[in-house]
Structure 1
Amino acid sequence: MKRALAVLLLAGLVACQRHETSNTDMPVPEPTGNLRDAQRVPAPSADIGSAALPAPELEGAATAAGHWRFQVSAKGDQAVFGDAGEASEFAMRCDAEARRMVFTRAASGGSGATMQIIAANGAATFYTEPGPAGRTQASDPATDTFLTDVLATAKDRIGVRIGGGPTLAMPVDPVIRQTILRCAAPRG
């Protein structure tokens, strides 16, 4: 009986002993794949107040002069911002064959730079490459939630910035939504 009591006490003491944990006990997984192929986390829904998110990149940026216009072409619809008769400041073109939205900005940036597109309810950053006529371009899958859930539903203004350069702030227009939704629509 004494022996059983001693075993129980010893077992109780062992159970109470503090064990230190170490980060070396668990292996850390190595990243795999190409970061350009990574899935973007969906933007929060408007049901939880995403419209109230701050967009500090747009604060203090004057809204650029110009107008949006919708253009239809065999290569894909596009929403173009700028003054009539002038080269566009920014354009969103649907590459219907590749099912991608191609963004072009009248700015230099080259390969490896980034293009950030900002709305009050979210933002996304894309790698850029040189585009036609000295422009900088980036692209995104047409069905990406940033396009369909954030940019297509943006309110007031959106902004585009190349690298750490100035933000081009533009008023929102229905042609943005129209271009995105037509590009994301199932083909058949």
Structure 2
Amino acid sequence: MRNISKSRRLSPAIPLLLLAIAACSPAPPEPAPAPQPTKPVAIAPPATEPVQPKGDWIDWPITPGEWVYRKDSRGSLALFGEAGRDAVFIIRCDQSDRQLFLSRSGSVGDQAKMVLRASAGLQTYSAANSGGTPNYAAISVAPRDIMMDRIAYSRGRFAVETTGLLSLAIPAWPEFSRVVEDCRN
């Protein structure tokens, strides 16, 4: 019986002991503030300014894009460039004038020249702004101009160099020749 009475005497001391221990422990830490949502920062890719190709034109990187052939009320045309963007180079046959117009994106000043290069040679032409929007520098040639055949038979590419504009290395695909043939017939 004595054991029972002893345990009854200690019982009230246990809660006091627990209270004393709790008083000695540090207060619980404050909860950390909720993280604030951050706005995503758009990191722009490094701007790569187009650079004028150097060295032999046959070694220049090909200008990005593909050819597309079309017919319209004036004749036929082939456009070269990247999908969803304005063409960087156009050849058009104006059937009524029996004339070819070769245009490249950009505008030029007075007395500008356009040089067409192919595996079998080159030819220089006077270039002028076409007056449209967007701006194109253009030349006009006869359908039987020897340079059209040189481009048609060039080894995989031809080059377009225009005063004040970046030079282009364009693949010599059949679309170019098709427009030339349309104008000759």
The answer to whether the 8 Å contact 2:106/2:165 transfers is no
SS in 2 for 1:183: helix
Deviation at 1:143, TM superposition (A): 1.7
Indicate the residue corresponding to 2:182 in structure 1: 182
Q: Distance in 1 between matches of 2:106 and 2:56?
A: 18
TM-score of the two chains, using structure 2 as the length reference:
0.65
Identity in percent? 26
Alignment partner of 1:160 is 2:160: yes
Runs of 4+ displaced beyond 6 Å: none
Query: Which stretch shifts more, 88-97 or 161-170?
Result: 161-170
Indicate the residue corresponding to 2:65 in structure 1: 66
TM-score of the two chains, using structure 1 as the length reference:
0.64
Q: Distance in 1 between matches of 2:115 and 2:66?
A: 21
The answer to whether the 8 Å contact 2:152/2:172 transfers is no
The answer to whether the 8 Å contact 1:110/1:136 transfers is no
Gaps of 5+ in 2: 1-54
SS in 1 for 2:114: strand
Which has the larger Rg?
2
The answer to whether the 8 Å contact 1:57/1:167 transfers is no
Q: Distance in 2 between matches of 1:164 and 1:178?
A: 29
Q: Distance in 1 between matches of 2:123 and 2:143?
A: 14
Corresponding letter in the other structure for 1:84: A
Q: Distance in 2 between matches of 1:130 and 1:181?
A: 25
The answer to whether the 8 Å contact 2:108/2:164 transfers is no
The total of aligned residue pairs comes to: 129
Alignment partner of 1:144 is 2:145: yes
Q: How big is the alpha-carbon RMSD for the aligned residues of Structure 1 and Structure 2? A: 1.6
Corresponding letter in the other structure for 1:97: S
SS in 2 for 1:180: helix
Deviation at 1:165, TM superposition (A): 4.2
